[in-house]
Copies of this chain bind each other. A is one copy, B any other.
Amino acid sequence: MRFETTRRDGTARSGKLILERGTVETPVFMPVGTNGAIKMCTRDCVKKAGATIVLANAFHLYLKPGLEILREFGGIHDFASWDIPVLTDSGGFQIFSLSKNIKVDDDGADFKSPFDGTVHRFTPEKVVEIQETIGSDIAMVLDECLAPTDLESTKKSMKRTFKWAQRAILAHKRKDQALFGITQGGFFEETRRESTIEITSLPFDGFGIGGLSVGEDIDTTIKMLDVVLPLMPEDRPRYLMGVGDPLLMLEAVERGVDMMDCVLPTRMARHGGILTSQGRINIRAAIYEKDKGPLDPSCDCEVCRSYSRGYIHHLIKRNESTGMILATYHNIYFLTDLMKRSKAAIINKEFKEFKEEVLSKMKYQKRRVL
């Protein structure tokens, strides 16, 4: 992997990730295909919607189809017929968010499979091995994702994440796969700073910012970004994990974030939550019943060019999958397009104005995220 940042506008960066399976222009939004498929969106639709890299979850793929099948198929690209780059999340977040009876020690974490109750051990080395088998273009290290807690516990956890990061680097063998470290540090400036300094001292290809956008208010998220980003090396990509809200995305891009992902835009589409240039709407609302206009009057995606709010309202209300397909496509398009426009604004050195204009049209109330 090579990363080039070609233009700046303040701290905002326009760049490109040059990967074996394609070049990814940054800043970029990555749709999430947890089980090796973006829900309600085939590969061709994802690409048509503008995505140039997708995310899959090592944790889920490890459980099903499992490493044996992935090995048999030669990795996720051949298995899922994905011809664009794939980033795999390490599973850290899932282990900590999905498992009820998790046992963590300095060596790693035990979790129970939701399928058969079997106990599996995830260590930094194992998680590297899993992602090497999956064959993603970018792998993430195992980190400890704590729920917000006190300073003492945060420090302890941060130290563990650092040690795990070192072990991951030592275990990583595939030269055709980039490996990203993950900075943690909870919601304290001190630990965020320390974690960033520690993790970025290691020879990773890029850096994730983890443990944010997990329920805290946006001012806290931004405060943490303001601590972390200035400490990150200029020459490597920065990936803010789990963020897909337009407001927070633009705040992050302004501060120098290059990559983001989030399951929310596709998940909320399936329930009628639509991102538009005038703010988020729920297409299930009765006011859209007779609405002949497109989901977003400013959007030129195929769905907005072909279909009315009234029709999509009808489909989503009837729980019709085709309505979910149309809404999913639009939401992915909206965010990939937002990143493309952000890039253009950075290149034109007018990102701040662009951001203000987008956000004022979206009528964000009190800077609330999605």
Which residues of A line the B interface, CB within 8 A? 35-44, 64-65, 69, 72-73, 79-81, 289-290, 292, 302, 306-308, 310-311, 314-315, 317-318, 320-326
Contacts and interface: CB of A to CB of B under 8 A. Distances in A.
A317 B39 contact: no
Contacts of A302: 44
Majority-rule SS of A interface residues: helix
Given A64-B317, A79-B308, A37 B289 contact: no
A80 B303 CA distance: 12
| Copies held by the complex | 2
Residue among A38, A302, A311, A315 with the most chain B CB within 10 A?
Answer: A311
B308 A69 contact: no
A65 B289 contact: yes
Contacts of A325: 40, 42, 325
30 contacts: A35-B315, A35-B320, A36-B311, A36-B315, A37-B315, A37-B320, A37-B323, A39-B321, A39-B322, A41-B322, A42-B322, A42-B325, A42-B326, A64-B317, A65-B289, A65-B310, A65-B314, A69-B289, A69-B290, A69-B310, A69-B314, A72-B290, A72-B310, A73-B310, A79-B308, A79-B310, A79-B311, A81-B307, A321-B324, A325-B325
A296 to B, nearest CB: 16
Contacts of A318: 35, 64
Give the 4 A-B CB pairs with smallest separation, nearest first. Answer: A37-B322, A65-B314, A35-B318, A40-B321
B308 A81 contact: yes
Nearest to A326: B42
Contact of A73 (B65, B69, B308): B308
Nearest to A35: B318
